Amino acid sequence: MRVSTGSASQSDSRMVSVVVEAFGIGRQRQAERRFTVPFAQLQTIFQTIARQGGRIKAVEMADGLSAAPGDAASAPAAAAAPAPAPNPSKPAAVSHAAVPVNLYKPKDPFVGTVTENYSLLAEGAIGRVNHITFDLAGGDPQLHYVEGQSIGIIPDGTDAKGKPHKLRLYSIASTRHGDNMEAHTVSLCVRQLQYELDGATINGVCSSFLCDIDPGAKVRITGPVGKEMLLPEDEEANVIMLATGTGIAPMRAYLRRMFEPAEREKNGWHFRGKAWLFMGVPTTPNLLYDADFEHYLSQFPDNFRYTKAISREQKNSRDGRMYIQDRVLEHADEIFTMIEDPKTHVYMCGLRGMEPGIDEAMTTAAAAKGIDWSELRPQLKKADRWHVETY
């Protein structure tokens, strides 16, 4: 089937129904499905259907015109020269060519200035987590980034062998405009690493360097790096976020881009989809950016859900500690209903140890719906809808 929407205007309000078979996941692939979208989104839905391996049976216009596979003559008159639909056996490539990468490398880092450093934890919390912001002004080139990327920090000093410390990567917690909306700052959410070794407490080199740093100090910064955790461009996408601890950093950036008033005014990207954050922490005082998220919830109840798993305070259905995977199981039906929508993306960020629990929960939840998670997960990954960054 050859259909092009190349000359369609984004304001074109005509509606088109696309009838599809063998689309979706699990048992749903056996059913015929119908998608009704604005004319301007026709090519996008074709690409989505192709990624999922679906077959288009018919395209029906609101004015009664229709097209069956192989029939290009009934395409809307306003369409330009027909172009082939994507090959169903190969998902359309996702281009991130414009995303900045490695503007500054370890051998020639950018030197930024700390503008603020404060604790994110409430009284009674476990550990130490700080929000740290750096001024990036004055670089040539300007160090800029997009939501979902990371930067490298090279801590001062040398290691036990007298060599300079190696960089550590941290997920960015601010939007491309920065917390001050001036587009020349970057913020991190850093937990001080501490562990016991032979009866002694060992502090992480870079995390301690950052948590102890004073405003005005100079810091060597590299990057940005990463294209795995980028948000979709579609303003009507659905975004499920699974975070533990400081894995909340990219989620905070996403949610600010979606719901912070100054961001919505400035970025020209007006989120209208559904965003659902699952946040796992040990205690209530360890909830990070909680007041901001509760505010978004009060202001955008139709677009945002916020589900907390507080392991040392809440119980799961087996009377054990409540972890993020338990919340996933609780809401399995809703989660998989969202995943069945090709506009839904899932993001996971936090300690690598969270992955097996989430995978087990998704396997169990999928099985209850007749879906093989081991088959679905790589399909979602291939379609650029399953995003994981753990450490």
- Residue 155 makes CB contacts below 8 A (sequence gap 6+) with 165, 168, 205, 206, 209, 210
**Residue 97 Ramachandran class (φ > 0 left, ψ -120 to 50 alpha, else beta):** alpha
At residue 294, the pLDDT reads: 98
248 in Cβ contact with 288 (< 8 Å) = yes
- Beta pairing partners, 104: 223
At residue 41, the pLDDT reads: 57
Residue 342, preceding peptide bond in cis (omega within 30° of 0): no
Measured in degrees and rounded to the nearest 5, phi and psi for residue 111 equal -105, 110
Copy the structure tokens of residue 250: 């990219």
CA separation (Å) from 35 to 41, 82, 92, 99, 358? 11, 21, 19, 31, 30
119: helix, strand or coil? strand
3-state secondary structure 316-342: CCCCCECCHHHHHHHCHHHHHHHHCCC
- Beta pairing partners, 389: 349
DSSP-assigned states of every residue in 107-168: TB-EEEEEEEEEE-PPTT-SS-EEEEEEE-TT-SS-----TT-EEEEE-SSB-TTSPBPPPE
Q: Among the residues of 32-152, which ranges form H helices?
A: 42-51
At residue 267, the pLDDT reads: 85
Burial class (CB in 10 A: 0-12, 13-18, 19+), 80: exposed
pLDDT tens string 270-322:
999 999 999 999 999 999 999 999 999 999 999 999 999 999 999 999 999 99
185 in Cβ contact with 173 (< 8 Å) = no
- Closest by CA position to 289, among listed 350, 244, 248: 248
Catalytic residues: 170-171, 349, 389, 391
Instruction: Report the chain (391 residues): mean pLDDT per 10 consecutive residues.
Output: 35 59 52 62 59 64 43 33 33 62 96 98 96 96 96 94 93 97 96 88 93 97 96 95 96 97 89 96 97 97 97 94 94 91 95 89 88 92 94 86
Distance CA 226, CA 182 (A): 23
Distance CA 167, CA 50 (A): 41
- Residue 18 makes CB contacts below 8 A (sequence gap 6+) with 34, 35, 36, 37, 42, 45, 46, 49, 56, 58, 59, 60
Query: Which residue type does 384 have?
Result: D
Query: Which residue type does 13 have?
Result: S
At residue 237, the pLDDT reads: 96
pLDDT tens string 207-227:
999 999 999 999 999 999 999
